[in-house]
Amino acid sequence: MRINVYIGLGSNMGCKRRNIETAIEYITKIPGVNLVKKSSLYETEPWGKTDQDKFLNQVIMIETDSGADELLDRLLETEIKMGRQRFEKWGPRVIDLDILLYGNQVIRTERLRVPHPHMRERLFVLIPLQEIGTELRFPDDGVTIEEVLSRVLARDGNTDIHKI
């Protein structure tokens, strides 16, 4: 069975645009994966650890017949191939790949949490996600992407995120 999966991509080291393009190339070479949509690129301030360079972010939608754990393994392999090293939480990175939504599934394991646990707080995820998934509903509570984005914008405003 084919599943629609939304993946967040981010980079704040080296040639950020090329890093994201390379990651998408790797992802589309995973057997059983088809790229369906990709958002615009967005330049954003860092989140969590703020004393680092700005990020370039994008969200893609793929269609896959891979299980969530198998897909996670392949995304982690891609990060390693591209030189990602995990020295500090939310630190600088060549590439960051996060499974945001995996079909309509709610996944809570030691390795994977879907919907992504911080995505409802992050404009750099919500804005590009809404761009390519205007009718999305979160599988855990049925709230629409529009409702979540509206709440975050009302609370925080549209700060420090710029479409490229």
Annotated active-site positions, please? Answer: 84, 93, 96, 98
Tell me how far apart the alpha carbons of residues 52 and 50 are, in angstroms, rounded to a whole number.
6
Q: Are 9 and 57 spatial neighbours (Cβ–Cβ below 8 Å)?
A: yes
Q: Are 23 and 78 spatial neighbours (Cβ–Cβ below 8 Å)?
A: yes
Exposed / middle / buried, residue 131 (Cβ in 10 Å: 0-12, 13-18, 19+): middle
